[in-house]
Amino acid sequence: MRRIVITVLSGMALAGLGTWASAATLKQEPAMGALKEGQRVLVDDGTCPKGQIKEVVGGNHTSVGGSKKMLRQRRCIPRK
């Protein structure tokens, strides 16, 4: 439970950041529903190849309480 609270609070703290370059890097993806639609975070969980990091973009899917059928997007991008 404590881990979920920390993850949600981390996601909320990152919501105000303008660009992904200034965002802190998380060790795990935020819980479903914790990211706002279009919010981008970087996740260094070891799932991307060397020299890359995972970028996660929040969706707004009805299965997690959203109003659209917009799924969360994930992709590996070069590290800066």
Whether residue 77 has pLDDT greater than 70: yes
The continuous run of DSSP H or E covering 10 comes out as helix 2-14
Whether residue 78 has pLDDT greater than 70: yes
> What is the total count of domains within the chain?
1
pTM of the model: 0.67
Based on its alpha-carbon atoms, the radius of gyration of the chain, rounded to whole angstroms, reads 12
Q: What is the residue range of 9's domain?
A: 2-78
Tokens of 29: 């993806």
pLDDT value, residue 7: 57
Name which residue leads in pLDDT, 10 or 70: 70
- Environment class of 11 (CB within 10 Å of its CB; exposed 0-12, middle 13-18, buried 19+): buried
Longest dimension (CA), the chain: 36
pLDDT value, residue 32: 86
Strands 60-61 and 25-26: unpaired
Going by pLDDT thresholds of 50, 70 and 90, the confidence category of residue 10 is low
